[in-house]
Chain A
Amino acid sequence: MLTALILVPIIGAILIGFLPTPEGSNLPRKAALAIAIGLFFYSFWLLTQLDLSQSGVQFTEYLTWAKPIGLNYTLGVDGLALPLVVLNGLLTWVAIYSTREKIHRPRLYYSLVLLVNAGVTGAFVAQNLLLFILFYELELIPVYFLIAIWGGAKSQYAATKFLLYTAVSGILILAAFLGIAWLCGASSFDLATISTEDLSQKSQLILLSLLLVGFGIKIPLVPLHTWQPDAYVESAPSVAILLGGILAKLGVYGLLRFGLELFPETWHLVSPGLAITGSVTVIYGALSAIAQKDIKRMVAYSSIGHMGYILVAAAASTELSVLGGVAQAISHGLILALLFELVGIVEDKVGTRELDVLNGLMNPVRGLPLVSALLITAGMASAGIPGLVGFAAEFLVFQGSFSIFPICTLLCIFASGLTAVYFVILLNRTCFGKLDNKLAYYPRVVRSEQIPALVLTAIIMVLGIHPTWLVRWIEPTTDAIAQSFHKPKIVAISQPNLIASFGSDLDR
């Protein structure tokens, strides 16, 4: 069943690559859209079939592949992976739909988007470490080309930076996986066969550190983030949706699946540092976003900040915080996709992303009133306004993390206030004020261009009003992850002591 989610986009990509495209033909786009929508509905159907009474991996598939090196085709999903697969399907559809119809080299473009979808889905459903890294690397190449060929003026630079960072990320993760398998003496790289309990804490610490840095680059966390603003800004909006909405979630997934699940005790050891890194990421992202003059770059930095919440939640590793972390990953994917979609429309119609130039887009006749209204909604969702999915996710993160890391959580709450600050700046400059009569001859936004944003907004609102529809799939798995810790071993460290101990470490 899961194989279809990987094979269909790969086969689709190959077929689209050879489709005849006479002048003016939209066939590649239509085919890619059909495949993406099919994948989304199929993955959503799988979600409805998920047995919520079980926390373990379901819909498993197994095929021996390269036994001598321990590489098996082992697939399976649980409440952690499947919602992200559904998000991948949805955002792939959004990315394809929001791509301009007259894009150059359409066959290559749509093929690459479908390959990204296949790679990401494969990574989410892989239950073999080597298979995971295979898919993890598979998406790297198409994304590189998507940024480089269809990006902005500095796309080559951004793509190369992305490639270098992500390649390093892949190497570190591969090294960690090889270390895990060899040191544990596992017969294969299948996740189910690996137990790290017997490893020394030093070994665990080294392996976990490799994973943290590897996935930290992908998320990205401060200070491993410098590739991200360039990549997001230089990408076409549709590619930025994939990058921020889905690819970053691979990092989150990897941290939870391989960091938290494989090294629970060592995770607890490093969790204060992770919480501090998370809160620094949150504050840094928010403050950097406030300083931006380019709305796309502002959204990119806001993304960095919001990913920090997930790290704080994962560091706290309570039932509620892990649940909140995964919910935040999905919420962030939806909101970021909506923001990039809207920023893309603004740039396409107005011809600029500069805050100092944009103004008065709320104008009911000559502006972009619906786009502005949706931008306001997206800003509110991102700032965690109640009634929208961002609030539900952030509330779970704060509620779950506060008892373990109160100061870090308070910093995150403060940063969510900063989110409101930069979104008010963005909305005030972009949507409100006086429309410049000399510039305001923008083309209209036709209904078909509004559909992806309307769909995403509807989902954000529905899940915000009824968050159970979001968390019910995730909860059994995240509960199991959190319960697998040895609670008595958790030493509650007060924040001042923690900072003091870090300070003494630095002194040494």
Chain B
Amino acid sequence: MSTTLTPAKIPPSQHEFADVIHRLEAGGSMLPDTPENLMQIIGIYKAYAVPMDFYWRDLLYIAERVFLDPFPAFKYFLPQEYLDLHNHYAGDDADLRIWRGEATAHPELLAFMEKGETFKGSKLFHHLWHDRINMEFAEACMRAMLWHQGMGGRFYDYLEDPEYIANADRAIKAYFKGNPLMLGLYKLFPNMFYEKVRELSYYANLGLFWEVMAPVFFEMSDIYDEGGFKGVPDAMQFLVNGIFAIAGRPIYHHVYIRGECYEIIPKSKGFTWLYEAALPYVEAVFYRTAPFRGTKSYNAQAQQVPAEQKDFHYGILYADVFPVGSAGIPPTLLMQDMLHFLPQYLIDYYQKYCRGEDDILIQLGITFQRSMYNVTSAVIQALRTALLYPLDDPNPKHLMKNRQFFEMQMDRFKRPEARLRDIQNQEYR
């Protein structure tokens, strides 16, 4: 256990989550530091990273190549070019080598794409049978980012900028060159096309975000397998270090039309990974999102849905994972995707509890929830590092500022739907 005790320079917190706050002040995570938790979160990071390797490639493929195809029936049919696309954070030619593995698509992903759960068959069969990586979850995350927008950063503002509109206009006209019907529609309803391009810019944004996260999770899994992590705080610290190492990675949106690159959001705009992708992603997907179809019956007129978007609380940190398994719910699809790539030690672990294999989707969903509390802890610690003071700062006033920051973050988990209370208990499965 690498967690150190808080120096008693400030009085104990009186917050409802005082224990968690003290743990954060000691450099720990919101998730209790137990070997069981460590094993669960690392196992699920690995299982998440493999489909994520598909998600980021396909998100970029849709943003860059499918673009405004009016009938994008085959947008989930990833071409070989994108499977071979080199991840910038893995492989020998990496910009920054986070994972020691290959830069191309992960071997387990390729094996699954070929055979699926059933048998080796045509891509169309696997697609229609849903025996595939479910991009629907990735698109739900993208839409959450698009819809919530306005969560800080400059990316969202830029999507309304005349420069962006001019860039989009060039790309739209090039894409529909020789198609009078679509060009006519564009003339009649230009805003509809711009809005679609804005959505595609968020495809690119999320794709570039996950391009980083996949090798981070693969590397964490490898380090754990080698006996590298001693506890949950170590895993969290790895994430914090990763966040700072990649914070400046550019976020852009390029479109390739007939061999020519159209820079809708050029790299030169200076949008960076931490502020324009990572933080909005955590806010939109971990905290807010929207009630997923089928998981919650809500009535906006009865004020069951918050009036303000910032008060939405349907993300994974609040999610009721138990309805997972219902058809068509995006989290179900994610759990299904992760199920295919669980490490054996996690499968063995799930077999021992609850209904074993029968409710493995929910068990791994709750593990995923635990792991995302750890990722959120890393983000909170990273923000504290960037904006406030070191945890071992000798000045009690600075420590009190840190305390206030942590308490403010924990306030968001006071509402009854938050699972922070649940994950403190190992029996929450």
Chain A contacts to B: CB under 8 angstroms: 360, 363-366, 434-435, 437, 440-441, 443-444
Instruction: Tell whether B263 is near chain A: CB-to-CB under 8 Å.
Output: no
User: What residues on B are CB-neighbors of A366 within 8 Å?
Assistant: 322, 325, 354-355, 359, 362
With A441-B354, A441-B429 known as contacts, the answer to whether A365 contacts B320 (CB < 8 A) is: no
A364 B326 Cβ-Cβ under 8 A: yes
| Contact status B429-A440, CB under 8 Å | no
Task: Tell me if A364 and B325 are in contact (CB < 8 A).
Answer: yes
Can you give 9 contacting A-B residue pairs, CB < 8 Å? A363-B322, A363-B323, A364-B325, A365-B324, A365-B359, A435-B322, A437-B322, A440-B322, A443-B355
Contact of B358 among A363, A365, A434, A441 (CB under 8 A): A365
Interface residues of B in 307-326 (CB under 8 A from A): 320, 322-326
Q: How far is B323's CA from A437's CA once the two chains are assembled, in angstroms?
A: 10
Measured between beta carbons, the chain A residues less than 8 angstroms from B326 are 363-364
Q: Is the CB of A365 within 8 A of B325?
A: yes
- Chain B, residue nearest A435 (CB): B322
B322 with A444: CB separation less than 8 A: no
B361 in contact with A365 (CB, 8 Å):
yes
B69 adjacent to chain A (CB < 8 Å) = no
A434 pairs with B320, CB closer than 8 A: yes
B422 is an interface residue with CB less than 8 A from chain A: yes
Taking a contact as CB atoms under 8 Å apart, the answer to whether B325 and A444 are in contact is: no
Which of chain A's residues have a CB closer than 8 A to the CB of B422? Answer: 437
A437 to B362, CA, bound (A): 11
CA distance A437 to B363 in the complex (A): 12
Across-interface contacts of B362 in A (CB, < 8 A): 365-366
> What number of A-B contacts does a CB cutoff of 8 Å give?
37
Bound CA span A45–B322, Å? 48
Task: Determine the interface band of chain B, counting residues with CB < 8 A from chain A.
Answer: 10 to 19
Tell me, rounded to whole Å, the shortest Cβ–Cβ distance linking A351 to chain B. Answer: 15
The smallest beta-carbon distance between A443 and chain B, in angstroms, is 7
Please name all residues of chain B whose beta carbon is closer than 8 Å to the beta carbon of A360 when the two chains form the complex: 322
A364 CA / B361 CA spacing, docked (Å): 11
Partner of A437, one of B320, B325, B358: B320
Most buried by B among A363, A364, A440: A364
Ordered nearest first, which 7 A-B pairs have the shortest CB separation? A365-B325, A364-B325, A444-B355, A365-B359, A435-B322, A365-B362, A366-B322
Interface core residue of A360, A435, A441, A443 (most chain B CB under 10 Å): A441
Cβ of B325: which chain A residues have Cβ within 8 Å of it?
Answer: 363-366
User: Across the interface, which residues of B come within 8 angstroms of A444, CB to CB?
Assistant: 355, 358-359
Given A363-B323, A365-B355, A365-B361, 19 further pairs, Cβ under 8 A: A360-B322, A363-B326, A364-B325, A364-B326, A365-B362, A366-B325, A366-B354, A366-B362, A434-B320, A434-B322, A434-B323, A435-B322, A435-B323, A437-B320, A437-B422, A437-B428, A441-B354, A444-B355, A444-B358
Q: Which residues of B contact A365 (CB under 8 A)?
A: 322, 324-325, 355, 358-359, 361-362
In whole Å, how far is B299's beta carbon from the nearest beta carbon of chain A? 14
**In whole Å, how far is A67's beta carbon from the nearest beta carbon of chain B?**
64
Q: How far is the CA of A363 from the CA of B321 in the complex (A)?
A: 11
Q: Kindly name the residue among A365, A435, A444 whose own CB sees the greatest number of chain B CB atoms within 10 A.
A: A365
Name which residue of chain A comes closest to B422, CB basis. A437
When distances are taken between beta carbons in the complex, the residues of chain B under 8 Å from A434 are: 320, 322-323
Q: How far is the CA of A443 from the CA of B326 in the complex (A)?
A: 19
The smallest C-beta distance from A130 to any residue of chain B, in angstroms, reads 55
Hey, what's the 0/1 contact readout for B310-347 against A, CB within 8 Å counting as 1? 00000000001011111000000000000000000000
Chain A residues whose CB sits within 8 angstroms of the CB of B429 once the complex forms: 441
CB distance from B336 to the nearest CB of A (A): 11
- Binary contact readout B31-65 vs A (1 if CB under 8 angstroms, 0 otherwise): 00000000000000000000000000000000000
Q: Tell me how far the C-beta of A280 lies from the nearest C-beta in chain B, rounded to whole angstroms.
A: 39
Complex CA–CA separation, A440 to B429 (angstroms): 10
The closest CB in chain B to the CB of A444 belongs to B355
What is the bound-complex CA distance between A177 and B309, given in angstroms?
79
| Bound: A437/B320 CA distance, A | 8
**Bound Cα distance from A437 to B354, whole angstroms:** 13
Contacts of A364 in B (CB 8 A): 325-326
- Residues of chain A with a CB closer than 8 A to B361's CB: 365
**A441: which B residues are within 8 A, CB to CB?**
354, 429
Report the minimum CB–CB distance from B207 to chain A (whole Å).
Answer: 31
Interface flags for B394-429 (1: CB within 8 Å of A; 0: not) read 000000000000000000000000000010000011
Within the assembled complex, what's the spacing in Å between the Cα atoms of A479 and B277? Answer: 80
Instruction: Give the distance in Å from the alpha carbon of A365 to the alpha carbon of B320 in the complex.
Output: 13
- CB B116 to nearest CB in A, in angstroms, measures 21
Task: Specify the chain A residue showing the minimal Cβ separation from B295.
Answer: A434
| Separation of A437 and B318 alpha carbons in the complex (Å) | 12
B297 shortest CB reach to chain A, Å: 9
The chain A residue sitting closest to B296, CB to CB, is: A434
Residue of B nearest to A365 (CB): B325
> How many angstroms from the CA of A364 to the CA of B321 in the assembled complex?
12
Q: How far is the CB of B304 from chain A (nearest CB, A)?
A: 13
Cα–Cα, bound, A240→B358 (Å): 31
Encode contact with A along B376-410: 1 for CB under 8 Å, 0 otherwise. 00000000000000000000000000000000000
Residues of A within 8 A of B320 (CB): 434, 437
List chain A residues, Cβ under 8 A from B324.
365
Question: In the complex, what's the smallest C-beta–C-beta distance from B222 to chain A, in angstroms?
Answer: 31
**Measured between alpha carbons, how far is A24 from B103 in the docked complex, in Å?**
58
Residues of chain B with a CB closer than 8 A to A437's CB? 320, 322, 422, 428
Residue of A nearest to B335 (CB): A365
Closest to A433 in B: B297
Q: Within the assembled complex, what's the spacing in Å between the Cα atoms of A69 and B390?
A: 104
* Interchain CA distance A198-B237 in the complex, whole Å: 101
State in angstroms the CA–CA spacing of A24 and B354 once bound together: 25
Query: In the complex, A363→B324 CA distance in Å?
Result: 8
Rounded to whole Å, the gap between the CB of B367 and the closest CB of chain A is 14
A360 to B323, CA, bound (A): 9
Distance in angstroms from A213 CB to nearest chain B CB is 50
How many Å lie between the Cα of A437 and that of B361 in the bound state?
Answer: 15
> Closest approach, in angstroms, between the C-beta of A184 and any C-beta of chain B?
65
* Chain A: minimal CB distance from B421 (Å): 10
Near A by CB (< 8 A), chain B positions 238-274 give none
Q: List the A side residues contacting B354 at CB < 8 Å.
A: 366, 441
- How far apart sit A360 and B428, CA to CA, in the bound complex (Å)? 18
Instruction: Give the distance to chain A from B214, nearest Cβ to Cβ, in Å.
Output: 27
0 or 1 for each of B194-217: is its CB under 8 Å from A? (1 = yes): 000000000000000000000000
Residues of A within 8 A of B322 (CB): 360, 363, 365-366, 434-435, 437, 440
